[in-house]
Structure 1
Amino acid sequence: MRYALGVEYDGSEFHGWQRLTAHGETPPPGREPPPTLQATLEAALSSVAASPIETICAGRTDAGVHAECQVVHFDTDVQRDPRGWVLGTTSRLPPSMRIRWCVPVPGDFSARFSARARRYRYRLLNHQVRPALGRQLLAWERRPLDVDAMHRAAQQLLGERDFEAFRTVHCQAAHARRELQRLDVSRDGDIVTFTVQANAFLHHQVRNMVGSLLEVGAGLRPETWIADVLESRDRTQAGPTAPAQGLVFVGPRYPREWPLPEEVLFDA
């Protein structure tokens, strides 16, 4: 049986999503790797199943990045109803993680390859003083920001483009071509929000785009500079990488042919 899970987490205390050891490998005593979300989830699922379980996710998140609804799938011969997987697994997870839902899915469903889009949200406090409440979910920028200028500049990135200038040198993707479907910048009081959707993302792509747009918003670069950076295909021409704590993986989006909750479906 194959199951899909919706997983919510605060990534502050984790070293990113990806497991740092091979599946089932036990590191030598005293050499345990830092905690990762995948390893923590798999340990909880394996405890419920009383057998090893390996997961595949929709999109790997970096250290310090959060998720509203990460989607994973796993295969098992163990018989549990969806409610049992949700409650049993959540009870074995730290307070910073929970299972939102569990549904059985066809064997050809893939959390990664069946997704047609991924959504991120980046939020920051634009104020002279850093945030105290909610700081694990907010980045901070003390310089006054022109949100309208950032939004206009962001529209130059839409479409299927080569985003070589906006990925880290450590990115392992075979190529940098991605379809950016949405990049909106808005303000509500002192909170500035970047809403981003693409068919897929490169390593650090969202944080590098945000860091570059902040250069425009602070008046250090003209709006047209963003298009020049994109055209350069040179990471050194872009702005700095924005901090991780403001970034939330809202979740993937799948065609309605899959029996999944409404929050991850869309009309193709």
Structure 2
Amino acid sequence: MSDEVQPGHVRIRLDLSYDGTDFHGWAKQAGGRRTVQGEVEDALRTVTRSGQAYELTVAGRTDAGVHARGQVAHVDLPREVWAEQSGKLLKRLAGRLPRDVRVWALREAPSGFNARFAAIWRRYAYRVTDNPGGVDPLLRNHVLWHDWPLDVDVMDAAAKSLIGEHDFAAYAKKREGATTIREILDFGVRRGADGIIEIEVRADAFCHNQVRSMVGALLFVGDGHRGVEWPRKVLDAGVRDSAVHVVRPLGLTLEEVAYPADDQLAERQRQARRVRGTVH
């Protein structure tokens, strides 16, 4: 199954970024809470002067406080609206959107494109510092302070032990009817020249709270509270471990979403929509 664009409409890809500090996540919520989806959809409705609501589909539904540098979404617009507005829509959105969310590109998507289901992987980075003095005030909303010294080499080894296709039930908040099987393609930890530790993970998709839970486990390894083998033992046990803490969202950024070649988009959608089976 793939979603067809309705007759008379055109699918538009949006590339955007946002500072998640003051947002209650990506997805619209009841009760008037401020969300990224809500802000962008409101801006679209205003600048197109259509009075019609256009619903966005996003690659990764980030949680409250999580940032994005490389988020991707799509929206289906009436063809006449796109024809009239396409040349000026980007600048109009820049004038209408709040300063903590930006749309960087708008373009007609190829056939078979779906921001969520056609994606082949998402890459996140979590940033943390163990500087005894704390976090640079200019980075306070983007870097977590860990008040124990961290061994980056041990953390990196522990991260590598989680690469592959596994059932990540031990690191996920279970959702009814959803599988917790995911494939981690890359997982690594490095310290930059500025002393900030970057924990980067790339996977086909992620479960709710999975990245922040895995980071919590790596921090316990890095500061010596657990051994290097512990995160993998937790994974293999298959149940939530009370020692695995879900770290705060402020250090997490969605960096990039990747898609296959245009002629493979529809097939990728079909694959992603299938219910994942068991790991062999």
Say which of 211, 215, 240 aligns to 1:235: 240
Q: CA separation in 2, counterparts of 1:191 and 1:146?
A: 12
2:21 matches 1:12: yes
Q: CA separation in 1, counterparts of 2:176 and 2:35?
A: 19
CA contact under 8 A between 1:7 and 1:98: conserved in structure 2?
Answer: yes
Give 1:108 shift.
2.6
> Cα–Cα, structure 1 residues 129 and 154, in superposed 2: closer, same or farther, change >3 Å?
same
Report the AA paired with residue 126 of structure 1.
D
Q: CA separation in 2, counterparts of 1:148 and 1:172?
A: 37
After TM superposition, the structure 1 = structure 2 runs for residues 240-259 of structure 1, keeping only pairs within 5 Å, are 240-257=245-262
Say which of 111, 114, 123 aligns to 1:110: 114
Give 1:106 shift.
3.1
Secondary structure, aligned partner of 2:141? helix
Runs of 4+ in 1 over 3 A off after TM superposition: 80-83
Q: CA separation in 1, counterparts of 2:202 and 2:217?
A: 17
2:133 matches 1:163: no
Structure 1, unaligned runs of 5 or more: 22-31, 259-268
Q: CA separation in 2, counterparts of 1:165 and 1:182?
A: 19
Q: CA separation in 2, counterparts of 1:130 and 1:180?
A: 31
Give 1:172 shift.
4.8
2:224 matches 1:219: yes
Q: Which residue of 1 aligns with 2:274?
A: none
Q: Structure 2-normalised TM-score?
A: 0.85
Q: Which residue of 1 aligns with 2:184?
A: 180
Q: Which residue of 2 aligns with 1:38?
A: 37
Say which of 98, 111, 114 aligns to 1:94: 98
Q: CA separation in 2, counterparts of 1:238 and 1:112?
A: 32
Give 1:234 shift.
1.2
Q: Which residue of 2 aligns with 1:59?
A: 60
CA contact under 8 A between 1:69 and 1:100: conserved in structure 2?
Answer: no
Report the AA paired with residue 42 of structure 1.
E
Give 1:7 shift.
0.8
CA contact under 8 A between 1:82 and 1:104: conserved in structure 2?
Answer: no
Q: Which residue of 1 aligns with 2:76?
A: 75
Give 1:242 shift.
1.2
2:127 matches 1:126: no
Q: CA separation in 1, counterparts of 2:110 and 2:249?
A: 35
Q: How many residues get paired?
A: 249
Give 1:81 shift.
4.8
Secondary structure, aligned partner of 1:19? coil
Report the AA paired with residue 90 of structure 2.
V
Report the AA paired with residue 65 of structure 1.
V
CA RMSD, Structure 1 to Structure 2 (Å): 1.8
Report the AA paired with residue 202 of structure 1.
C
Report the AA paired with residue 241 of structure 1.
V
CA contact under 8 A between 1:165 and 1:238: conserved in structure 2?
Answer: no
Give 1:173 shift.
6.1
Once the two structures are superposed, what CA deviation does each residue of 1:176-201 show, in whole Å capped at 9, x if it has no partner? 10000011100124210001100000
2:201 matches 1:196: yes
Give 1:111 shift.
0.2
CA contact under 8 A between 1:10 and 1:97: conserved in structure 2?
Answer: yes
Q: Structure 1-normalised TM-score?
A: 0.88
CA contact under 8 A between 2:111 and 2:262: conserved in structure 1?
Answer: no
Q: CA separation in 2, counterparts of 1:236 and 1:224?
A: 14
CA contact under 8 A between 1:229 and 1:238: conserved in structure 2?
Answer: no
> Cα–Cα, structure 1 residues 83 and 8, in superposed 2: closer, same or farther, change >3 Å?
farther
Once the two structures are superposed, what CA deviation does each residue of 1:45-66 show, in whole Å capped at 9, x if it has no partner? 1112222211000010000000
Q: CA separation in 2, counterparts of 1:41 and 1:154?
A: 35
Structure 2, unaligned runs of 5 or more: 1-9, 264-280
Q: CA separation in 2, counterparts of 1:89 and 1:238?
A: 44
